[in-house]
């Protein structure tokens, strides 16, 4: 979903890591956020000119960005976070766990391609970017 933005950012060297559990890595499961922060730090150190990067984190990417800032602040130049939070309130944590529990049977029945389409609807993600 980030690729269309790259054409508008031609003055920048853009990278879009495919986080486990997302995109083409959707079948790999979810990995600990701290591990993902370490991996992103390594990518930034090896794939950028000055071992620093502007980071854009949306939703879970924002959670990973916060872990990256916490563990490896030296690789983050300017972060932009959207649709994320440092932690859920006690009530929201309970609501989220209930939501996951109630939807688990549905998630098991849907193929990942259908789930991706369903989840993309509220965000207006075009079909070609699914």
What does the pLDDT read at residue 55? 95
**Same domain assignment for residues 114 and 75:** no
**130 in a structural domain:** no
What does the pLDDT read at residue 130? 63
Q: What is the DSSP letter of 77?
A: E
Q: What is the pTM of this model?
A: 0.67
* Cα-based angle 61, 63, 68 (whole degrees, multiple of 5): 90
Q: Which residues of the chain have pLDDT under 70?
A: 1, 21-22, 26-30, 88, 112-113, 115-116, 119, 122-123, 129-130
Q: Residue 85 to residues 25, 28, 82, 130: CA-CA distances in angstroms?
A: 23, 24, 9, 25
What does the pLDDT read at residue 71? 96
In sequence order, the 6+-apart residues with CB closer than 8 A to the CB of 26 are 112, 116
**Same domain assignment for residues 3 and 47:** yes
**Same domain assignment for residues 6 and 58:** yes
**Same domain assignment for residues 67 and 97:** no
Range of the domain at 109: 88-125
**120 in a structural domain:** yes
What does the pLDDT read at residue 95? 77
**82 in a structural domain:** yes
Distance CA 35, CA 22 (A): 16
Q: Which two structure tokens, joined as six digits, stand for 31?
A: 């990995």
């Amino acid at each position: 979903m980030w690729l269309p933005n790259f054409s508008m950012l031609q003055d920048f060297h853009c990278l879009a890591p495919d986080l486990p559990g997302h995109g083409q890595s959707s079948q790999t499961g979810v990995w600990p956020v701290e591990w993902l922060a370490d991996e992103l730090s390594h990518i930034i150190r090896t794939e950028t000119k000055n071992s620093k990067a502007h980071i854009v984190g949306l939703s879970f990417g924002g959670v990973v960005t916060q872990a990256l800032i916490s563990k490896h602040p030296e690789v983050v130049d300017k972060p932009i976070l959207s649709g994320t939070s440092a932690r859920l309130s006690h009530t929201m944590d309970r609501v989220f766990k209930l939501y996951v529990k109630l939807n688990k049977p549905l998630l098991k029945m849907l193929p990942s391609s259908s789930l991706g389409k369903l989840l993309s609807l509220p965000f207006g993600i075009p079909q070609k970017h699914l």
